[in-house]
Amino acid sequence: MNLSQTIHGISFTNPTVLAAGMMGITASGWKDVARHGAGGITTKSMWIKEHKGHPNPVVISTPYWSINAVGLPYAGFDVAKEEVGSYMKDHPVPLIANIVAESVEAFAETAAKMVTLKPDFLEVNISCPNVEDEFGRPFACSPSDAAAVTRAVKAVSGTIPVFIKLSPNVDNIKVIAAACAEAGANGITAINTVGPGMAIDLRSRLPILANKVGGMSGRGIKPLAVRCVADIYAATEGKLPIIGLGGIATGEDALEMMMAGASLVGIGTAIWERGLDVFRDVSKEMQMWCTTEGVGEISELVGSMHKEVLISTKH
């Protein structure tokens, strides 16, 4: 049974990838995740200038959901150069460099600098719900803003494929995905966190997070993520690879996401629940299911839900 996937000529030994923001700061951390079986690594969102995040507490976690408002802290391009540069020297699995910026022009400048580090893909974070007070409505909330960032990054990215990371917090994700595709995106990552949400401490009667609100992730958001990925696959006619994430914790979750249209699946919050072995374990669980079901190539499953729906509506 073959779990490998080749996306824009880059080979992944299995479809699991580390989601942005989780363990995603240093080359040694990324290599550790690769040793635990991840098929690919996504870095933390990287700015070219230093950006301070929110004060603690920044995360609340329960078995059903997590809320975070880390606020996209990052030390800047010198650190990216050292860590990405060091990782790319021996490069155990593909690296997806996630970038963030405050304006269309800054996205272009950031992308132009990051491509000099030669990551396998760029992932463009236009969908963080935690920095709205600082930068306003995320670019992912409007088709024209999302397209403008896509065009600006594509203009400087050369041969490095560009994935645009979308938000579920929009009226119609299909329109946004189609606008990114039209603007030249090579792939879509979906979804970023949901909400924002809030949790209140009963004793103090105050919001637990210092930022008061934060993006929700974890098992509870999976149905929303699966629907968004299915919508994006339909809107882009299955022509763009999708990195699907949001609540993936088991092999069955990953298979469901692939049937909705994802070629790769991101795992983040589940690391808190299952440890770093989640990557190897999810792959094993996928493999067992495929063997039982007689699926020889994992790629056969990508978007298979859409074909089944077509067949079932013909009868």
**Shortest separation between residue 265's beta carbon and ligand SIN, angstroms:** 17
196 binds ligand SIN per the rule CB under 6 A: no
Of positions 3, 15, 21, 220, contacts ligand SIN by CB under 6 A: 21
Task: Return the number of the residue (14 or 125) whose C-beta is nearest ligand SIN.
Answer: 125
The rounded Cα 196 to chain-centroid distance in angstroms is 17
Segment 214 to 243, residues that bind ligand SIN, using CB under 6 A: 215
Residue 207, CA distances (Å) to 66, 197, 203, 220 in order: 14, 10, 11, 20
Residue 180 is a catalytic residue: no
Q: Which range of residues in 27-35, 68-76, 85-93, 202-210 is near ligand SIN by CB under 6 A?
A: 68-76
Of positions 5, 125, 250, 263, contacts ligand SIN by CB under 6 A: 125
168 binds ligand SIN per the rule CB under 6 A: no
**Shortest separation between residue 18's beta carbon and ligand SIN, angstroms:** 14
Which residue in the list 128, 180, 228, 290 is annotated as catalytic? 128
Task: Return the number of the residue (196 or 251) whose C-beta is nearest ligand SIN.
Answer: 196
Number of residues located near ligand SIN, criterion CB under 6 A: 13
Task: Return the number of the residue (13 or 192) whose C-beta is nearest ligand SIN.
Answer: 192
Task: Return the number of the residue (72 or 255) whose C-beta is nearest ligand SIN.
Answer: 72
Q: Which range of residues in 124-132, 235-243, 292-300, 302-310 is near ligand SIN by CB under 6 A?
A: 124-132
What DSSP string describes the chain?
-B--EEETTEEESSSEEEPTTSS-S-HHHHHHHHHTT-SEEEPPPB-SS-B--PPSP-EEE-SS-EEE-----B--HHHHHHHHHHHHHH-SS-EEEEE--SSHHHHHHHHHHHGGG--SEEEEE---TT-HHHH-S-GGGSHHHHHHHHHHHHTT-TTS-EEEE--S-SS-HHHHHHHHHHTT-SEEEE---EEEE--EETTTTEESSTTS-EEEESGGGHHHHHHHHHHHHHHTTT-S-EEEESS--SHHHHHHHHHHT-SEEEE-THHHHH-TTHHHHHHHHHHHHHHHHT--BGGGGTTHHHHHHHHHHH-
Segment 261 to 300, residues that bind ligand SIN, using CB under 6 A: none
23 binds ligand SIN per the rule CB under 6 A: no
Q: Which residues of 121-143 are buried (b: 16+ CB within 10 A; e: fewer)?
A: bbbbbbbbbbbeeeeeebbbbbb
**Shortest separation between residue 71's beta carbon and ligand SIN, angstroms:** 5
Task: Return the number of the residue (43 or 130) whose C-beta is nearest ligand SIN.
Answer: 130
Task: Return the number of the residue (43 or 125) whose C-beta is nearest ligand SIN.
Answer: 125
Of positions 192, 236, 250, 283, contacts ligand SIN by CB under 6 A: 192
Q: Which residues bind ligand SIN (CB under 6 A)?
A: 21, 45, 68-72, 125, 128, 130, 192-193, 215
Catalytic residues: 128
